[in-house]
């Protein structure tokens, strides 16, 4: 059992998934989902997923779906396995399968897709640089401790 989205009929596993689907789609350019939420739950943007799920579930049809839910299905539609690259110029190894695919009128333009890909690349670079700085700081700290030990030995403070 699950719920059909009252806007687009996409199957959702439960009321929380339904609430998240409606809110996320509304926030990422799904004008029809946003209008639906604005009409039925005017303060939807201020609610957490549990509160929103309580509000939206009363409008959704509880349905038994014969198919598997979208997060467990390969929805690429190209009919072959994906143990090779498609030469897109960048990877999405850090994303779950299907997270970068958009459907219908809410699909991203080529420009928007490029902006998101660049943002992912910049974020990876920033995180990598942050890790490098942390490693360098740790190495500097180790070197300083070593130098302090050497200085103590040179000043004749050691007892024999």
Helix count (H) and strand count (E) of the chain?
4, 3
Identify the residue with better confidence: 129 or 36: 36
pLDDT (tens digit, 9 = 90+) per residue, 143-154? 665 555 555 555
The DSSP output letter for 107 is: P
pLDDT value at 70 more than 70 = no
Single pTM value for the model: 0.43
The model's confidence at residue 134, banded by pLDDT at 50, 70 and 90, is: confident
Six-digit token string for 146: 């070593």
- Closest among 17, 13, 15 to 1, alpha carbons compared: 13
């Amino acid at each position: 059992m699950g719920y059909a989205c009252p806007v687009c009929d996409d199957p959702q596993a439960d009321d929380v998934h339904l609430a998240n689907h409606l809110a996320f789609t509304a926030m990422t350019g799904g004008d029809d989902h946003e209008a639906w939420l604005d009409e039925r739950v005017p303060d939807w943007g201020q609610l957490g997923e549990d509160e929103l799920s309580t509000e939206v579930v009363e409008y959704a049809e509880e349905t038994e779906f014969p198919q598997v839910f979208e997060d467990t299905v390969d929805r690429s539609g190209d009919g072959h396995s994906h143990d090779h690259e498609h030469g897109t110029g960048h990877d999405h190894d850090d994303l779950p399968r299907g997270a970068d695919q958009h459907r219908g009128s809410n699909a991203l333009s080529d420009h928007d897709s490029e902006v998101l890909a660049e943002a992912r690349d910049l974020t990876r670079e920033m995180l990598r640089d942050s890790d490098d700085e942390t490693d360098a700081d740790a190495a500097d700290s180790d070197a300083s401790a070593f130098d302090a030990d050497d200085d103590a030995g040179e000043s004749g403070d050691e007892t024999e």
